[in-house]
Amino acid sequence: MARNMLVSLLFLFIMLATAAGAEETPSPDMLLRQKDDALSALQKDNAALQEKIRALEGMPRIGREELFLKSRRRLQEIAADVKIQRQSMADFENFVKWMTTNLNGYSKYIEAGSVVAGFAKVLPIPYAGQASVLTKFISQGILSLNAASVSIARYLDTSRQFISRVESLNQSGPDGGSGETADIARFADDRMLKDMDDVRARLASISELSASTLSFLESLNHYVGSTDAYWNKTKSIITGSEAEKKEKSYLSQSIQNLKNGAGRFNARLKIFEDSAKKDEPLVKSLVTYDELIREITAKTSKTGNKS
């Protein structure tokens, strides 16, 4: 019986080896078909490539003057966007100043709230529950607000220079100012775009700061509405029931004012960010136009010298 099983296994091995060998060695007809298919695919690719070449050769070539005009029009488009951005900067600046004043006012709630152990566990700001770090949160917030104010002022100055130079360029006529156009393009790429990105980052940090502060005040308002522990342990900021009522009213009004102010700020910030994202590739394209103009000018100069 073992001998019969061995014979069966040997027969099965031979059959499998024969089948594998048949798969590894295609027939001549199959090889010929594969060769024809590959040749046909190659011919189709070649025909498509020739068609693309003919289409590119038939396209009108863009000369130096066309590129120069495109660059001028792009500068005007960016300048129009920047003018709108500058209008929002005034609102951003006002909100930053308002936050700076009010964040100092909120600090007494943060410092007083830190002494209430139960509430300190739910403070929605970094490292909540530690009085020293809570105070640091305020000081870091003030630093962020000051940095944003400086960034806004710098972008207002840079963007003013950009707009002024574009408007002066427009007065030179459609055929003048090629060198100035290139200079403005480099100014926009080297300075204005960097200042634009910097103010975006600073304003985004202010948005996060206002959200953290609002979350803290709302949590505090909910906490004091359900217990007297907070007011009982913060005699340093209130004296008497009338003062307590006044503080509670001030807290509720502060929450509403911050919510309204942050809402307007974030809405304008979204518009500014969309505009900045649109303008960034436009500014980069100005540099590309300038490089192409330089290449065409160099080639034309060489051709003229040879002739």
pLDDT of 268 reads 94
pLDDT of 122 reads 52
| Residue 267, token pair as written in the block | 């809405």
Euclidean distance between the first and final Cα of the chain, in Å? 99
Query: Phi then psi for 165, rounded to 5 degrees?
Result: -70, -35
**Residue 28, pLDDT above cutoff 70:** no
pLDDT of 7 reads 44
Report the share of the chain in percent with pLDDT over 70: 58
User: What is the architecture of the domain spanning 64-306?
Assistant: Up-down Bundle (1.20)
Choose between 103 and 3: higher pLDDT: 103
102 Cα distance to chain centroid: 29
| Residue 250, number of CB atoms within 10 A of its CB | 12
pLDDT of 130 reads 45
- For the chain, the structural domain boundaries read 2-58, 64-306
Choose between 300 and 195: higher pLDDT: 195
pLDDT of 215 reads 81
Report the share of the chain in percent with pLDDT over 90: 29
pLDDT of 196 reads 95
pTM given for the model: 0.67
Q: Which of 71, 62, 80 is nearest to 287 (CA)?
A: 71
**Residue 125, pLDDT above cutoff 70:** no
pLDDT of 9 reads 45
Mean pLDDT of the chain: 75
**Residue 230, pLDDT above cutoff 70:** no
The residues, any chain, with a CB within 8 Å of residue 75's CB and separated by 6 or more, are 166, 169, 181, 184, 185, 188, 286
The whole-number average pLDDT for the span 139-165 is: 94
pLDDT of 302 reads 61
- Say how far apart CA 231 and CA 238 lie, in whole Å: 8
Top mean-pLDDT range of 66-75, 166-175, 183-192: 183-192
User: pLDDT tens across 126-139, in order?
Assistant: 434 445 555 677 78
The alpha helices in 114-240, defined as continuous H runs, are 117-120, 131-170, 178-187, 193-226, 229-232
Query: Residue 235 — very low, low, confident or very high, per pLDDT cuts 50/70/90?
Result: low
Query: Residue 158 — very low, low, confident or very high, per pLDDT cuts 50/70/90?
Result: very high
The whole-number average pLDDT for the span 207-222 is: 82
